[in-house]
Amino acid sequence: MGFTSDWLALREPADHAARDAGLLHRAVRAAGPSPVILDLGCGTGSTVRAMRAHLPSGTRWRLVDSDPVLLEHATRAAGDGGEAVLLDITDIDALPLHSVTLVTASALLDLVSAAWMRRLADRLKVPFYAALSYDGHMRWTPALPEDAGVTRAFNAHQRGDKGMGPALGPKAVTQGAELLEAAGFDVARADSAWRLGAGDVALQSALVEGIATAARESGVEEADGWGKARCAAAARTDCVIGHGDILAVPHVAAGRGADATG
């Protein structure tokens, strides 16, 4: 389930541009006046960089990842307020939720299973802000005849097991919201689609290569040809890659204080 620091750096500008500003500000308010934020699968600290300008001084970050190299980057991003927690997020019972006022995750929910999501929702008693989950939609301009088939195959591949059981994949936003609502959260959703153009050739090319590989592994023989054509035309292509943001606030949050475990 891991990602390289190079890929995370390449995608970060698109992530920051796509993240819904209104929901981000609501998440900041939900974190309270003295935030203690637990970031799941923190990577190099993209969530920290996206939110820090909007948070009060003294915000504390509890950064969770299973990759020590990525954790080191994230802890530097958080500065004096950062605490590194080397932990596999599959172990929800081990998550350090004490005194946390907000739990965050970026580009994560499409990788987790419904069972993992239910278990997390059962444990949380504070707001949960999950941004940039892939939602299954892609649109390329100009279009190619293979686009629809490649997208279907990629979406099927995304539902595979990423280490926590069958992944939510392209249903992450809708199914994730439903699971959180069933657990007693009020859920707000917002669009955070990537909108890439001629200035994003490197990201488009890396994205296409990953999509083509997944589609080929799902049995689409023309995936490699599609990938080569898309990479060759990246400087002349616009694309929209669907993502969504979720902010889930427990019904009883106002009366339960700031302890994430209740």
Domain assignments of the chain as residue spans, ordered by start: 5-252
Backbone dihedral angles phi then psi of residue 28, each to the nearest 5 degrees: -60, -45
For the cut 80, the answer to whether the pLDDT of residue 111 exceeds it is: yes
Half-sphere exposure of 180 (CA within 13 A, CB side): 25
Q: pLDDT (tens digit, 9 = 90+) per residue, 121-132?
A: 999 999 999 999
Q: pLDDT (tens digit, 9 = 90+) per residue, 131-150?
A: 999 999 999 999 999 999 99
Q: pLDDT (tens digit, 9 = 90+) per residue, 205-241?
A: 999 999 999 999 999 999 999 999 999 999 999 999 9
Give the confidence band of 51 by pLDDT, cuts at 50, 70, 90: very high
For the cut 90, the answer to whether the pLDDT of residue 3 exceeds it is: no
Helix axes 147-158, 201-217, angle to 10 degrees: 70
CATH code of the region 5-252: 3.40.50.150
Give the confidence band of 251 by pLDDT, cuts at 50, 70, 90: confident
Number of H helices, E strands in the chain: 9, 8
Percent of the chain with pLDDT over 70: 95
Please give the Cα distance from 222 to 241 (Å, whole number). Answer: 21
Confidence (pLDDT) at 2: 52
- Rounded to an integer, the average pLDDT of 156-178 is 94
Backbone dihedral angles phi then psi of residue 171, each to the nearest 5 degrees: -95, 10
For the cut 70, the answer to whether the pLDDT of residue 151 exceeds it is: yes
Give the confidence band of 245 by pLDDT, cuts at 50, 70, 90: very high
Confidence (pLDDT) at 256: 43
